[in-house]
A = this chain, B = another copy of it.
Amino acid sequence: METTAKKGDLISFRPDIKVLDATLRDGGLVNNFRFTDEFVKDLYQANIKAGVDYMEFGYKASKDVFKKEDFGKWKFCEEEDIRAIVGDNDSDLKIAVMSDVGRTDYKRDIIDRKDSVIDMIRTATYIHQIPTAIEMIEDAKEKGYETTVNIMAISKVNDEDLNNGLELLGQSGVDYIYLVDSFGSFYPEQIKKLSDKFLNIGAKYNKTIGMHAHNNQQLAFANTIEALSYGVSLLDATVSGMGRGAGNCYMESLLGFLRNPKYSLTPIMDFVEKHILKLKAAGAIWGYDIPYLLTGILNSHPSSAIQFIKEGRSDYTAYMHQLIDEN
């Protein structure tokens, strides 16, 4: 089966495509999840008006692993904190949270879906943690949730391990398998090949494939539409690309591209005008910059680039040689 044939065109729309707003979760990595309630309420309303399908509120992190006082509440996504924003969520927007392997007490902290306002549990895993991830996924499935799995840092995983991991996940109960470009290191032609691989697993095991991109090389949007053009259909984006380091695919770009009449760009632009400009003016830093380009090119974690920028450094060449040495 040739899965890499182009699906759809630039005038019609594919009803299978769904959009997930990850602003609070990936953007929370920029400001330690310290968003005002007004920000979160307005983002929730903007997503509803914009026709966004899922809104990720943050991590379901364990308070045994992380200290409550070190983070804003969206690091933990307590049921009552989400309900304070959405009530019973009487809307078409579904609510997602992320559950990190080894950092979530999922047996205790993830309650039955019938008692929760959450709709979807997203499990983030490294390749070597997949057996644990599958336990977490099956737990969430049993509790009634939609589930995704996000395999991180696959740009550092060899083909055989990735194939084996995908087979295991294919055989699990997970609904969505994500292609994640953690380091923003993939070019579109690599995304094409990876989409093919993931879509083949999806076809074999009846899973839907998602895409989560990073903007280190200013390719997050390009890679997202590259993946969708072959059939990847659950698309992550964040408002103004807010996310760790170089950030993510811009929601504005994605909604400007999609042709489904249910989507509207204007509520997101209004949200940018009200909240994002203020956040940036107050000193929150994310988005494309040379240090992130370098970690992208060199397929490295962005942490040292975040540090470089925090220190106000601009000795890019010295930093590049440091990165190459440490790679």
A residues whose Cβ falls under 8 Å from a Cβ of B: 6, 10, 187-190, 215, 217-223, 225-226, 229, 250, 252-253, 256-257, 265-266, 269-270, 272-273, 277, 290, 293-294, 297, 314-317, 320
Contacts and interface: CB of A to CB of B under 8 A. Distances in A.
A188 B290 contact: no
Given A219-B221, A252-B290, 6 more contacts: A6-B189, A218-B253, A222-B222, A257-B297, A266-B317, A272-B290
A318 to B, nearest CB: 10
A226 B256 contact: no
Contacts of A187: 10, 225, 257
B273 A316 contact: yes
Contact of A269 (B226, B252, B277, B290): B290
Contacts of A257: 187, 217, 297
A218 B217 contact: no
B253 A314 contact: no
A219 B220 CA distance: 9
A310 B262 CA distance: 33
A217 B273 CA distance: 18
Contacts of A316: 266, 269-270, 272-273
A293 B316 CA distance: 28
A6 B266 CA distance: 38
Nearest to A319: B269
Chain A interface, >50% SS class? helix
Contacts of A273: 314-317
A187 to B, nearest CB: 7
A192 B317 CA distance: 34
Contact of A293 (B225, B253, B266, B315): B253
Contacts of A225: 187-188
B317 A270 contact: yes
A293 B10 contact: no
11 contacts: A10-B187, A10-B190, A188-B222, A218-B220, A221-B222, A256-B293, A256-B294, A256-B297, A266-B320, A269-B316, A269-B320
A225 B222 CA distance: 11
Contacts of A6: 189
A266 B225 CA distance: 31
A253 B10 contact: no
A269 to B, nearest CB: 4
A316 B270 CA distance: 7
Most chain B Cβ neighbours within 10 Å, of A215, A270, A317, A320: A317
A257 to B, nearest CB: 7
Nearest to A270: B317
A304 to B, nearest CB: 16
Nearest to A317: B266
Contacts of A229: 189
A61 B252 CA distance: 38
